[in-house]
Structure formats: C-alpha cells, structure tokens
Structure 1
C-alpha cells in the first residue's frame, strides 16, 4: 500500500512537472510567432502606401483602361486586408495577458496559451497572406 502511494505521488509530481514544461513550450511558441510577425507591421504599412500610390497613378491614365475599376477594387480589398491584419496584431498584443498566466494553475495556463497560440497563428497567416497578395498585386 505504501509503495502504491509513493508511486501515485511520484506519478502526479511528474505529470505536474510535465504540464509546466508544456506550458513553457507553448508560451515559447506563442512568443516566437509574435516575434516573427510583429516586425512585418512596417512592411504592411509600406505595401498599403505603395498600393494607394498605384491606384492613384492608374486614375491619371487617359483614356481610362477597361480593367481599371477591377484593378482599383482589387487594390482597395488588399489594402483592407492589410489593415485588418495589422489591427489583429495590435488587438492580440493588447489582449494578451502574460502576467495573468502566473496566477493560473498549470492546466488553466496551458489552455489559455493554446488558445493564444491559435489566435497568434491566425494573425501570422493574415499578415503573411496579405503581404503575399500585396506583392503579387504590385508585381514584386
């Protein structure tokens, strides 16, 4: 009976230690994605500006090309996607509460971080997708 109790205590201790390691691993993943995409905010702004200039320059061409309106709409939609991606990044940063993780037990912290990992992954996909789309539009 004593051996069984010792085994159970050891097993629970190992599980908790493993959870803590998982929490740290997920936190590291979250921050790695943030650190990867955050510097791209300036790139988003540059691309939005370049697209706006492109649309403006197209409007000065006379006679107006037949595909101008479609091209203009495409640029407007891409700029909207870039703005949305940038806003998602800042919203995520404003809502991410790294300090509150310390007050959570390991299971809660892991669940919170896994949710944040999904959110920041979505942000990454929107930013990278928007940049690819803008570069293709501009012919880069």
Structure 2
C-alpha cells in the first residue's frame, strides 16, 4: 500500500468521524432547543396559572360593584356599568382562554418531525403568551377599579 493510499484512507476516516460528530451535535442542539422551547411555553403557563382563582374572585368583585351601581342609579351609571360588565366578560374570556389552550396543548411530539414539533411549540408559545397577557391585563384593570373603590 502506498503512502498516498494510506493518507487517503486516514483522511476519509477522519472526515467520517467529523461528520458523525457534527450530526450528533446538531441533533443534540435541536433536542435541547426544542426542550428549552417547551420549557419556555410551560413557564409562561406556570406564571399565571396560580392566579386563576384570584382572577375569578376579582371578576366577582367587579360584578358586585356593577350590581351596586345598578341599584343606586341604573340610568345615571349606565356607562360605568357597561364598562364593568365588559371587563368582567374579558376576564371570563381570559379565564376560558387558559383552559382552551391547556386542552389543545400537546407536551410531547407525537409522530412528527423535530422541525414540525418545534414549529408547533413556537405557535403554542405565541398562544400561551396571549393567554398570559390577557389574564395579566384584565387583572391589572380590575385591580385598578377595585383599589379606586376602597
């Protein structure tokens, strides 16, 4: 065997090893980034899920204020009553949005490629961010109303 042939075999072997390492690293990176993305989605959910009881309680308080305004002077308070009822409705929608999202969310890839699952997670992250924002914004608005009444 000539030196040239030996060098060629060594070069091919080293090239194969490098390709295998790069492919393994790439797959590992993909798995990690998918796991990280899934963790981000769950973290967004976990941020507001504990506030769901408080959201419902605040909604009840908002409707109580609306009811009191109706009893005081339903015609004179029409605009404020409508604002409060609208807020209560948005709070209901935010609450329901969390459970709608939870029912459709799939925490694991089922017979889809890593890339498709990653795209799915990106969409889920956008959806749960909206749910999170809806909950936080309606709670902030309700908190403002309730603090002004105290």
Both proteins in one fold, TM over 0.5 = yes
1:24 equivalent in structure 2: 35
SS in 2 for 1:26: helix
Question: Could you say which residue in structure 2 is the equivalent of 1:138?
Answer: 146
- Structure 1 unaligned segments of length 5 or more: list them: none
Greater relative contact order (Cα < 8 A, sep 6+): 1
1:1-140 superposed matches below 5 A: 2=12, 3-62=14-73, 66=76, 68-99=77-108, 101=109, 103-139=111-147
Q: Secondary structure at the match of 1:60?
A: helix
Shift of 1:11: 1.3
Q: What's the TM-score once normalised by structure 1's chain length?
A: 0.88
- Structure-2-length-normalised TM-score: 0.83
Distance 1:72 1:59 in 2: 7
Once the 2 structures are TM-superposed, how far is the Cα of residue 102 of structure 1 from its aligned partner?
A: 5.0
Structure 1 runs of 4+ aligned residues shifted over 4 Å read: none
Cα shift readout 1:5-51 (whole Å, capped 9, x = no counterpart): 33222211111100100111111111111111111111111011101
Deviations 1:65-107 (CA, angstroms, capped at 9, x unpaired)? 74x11110110110111011011100001001124x1543322
Cα RMSD of the aligned pairs, angstroms, is 1.8
Report the structure number with the largest CA radius of gyration: 2
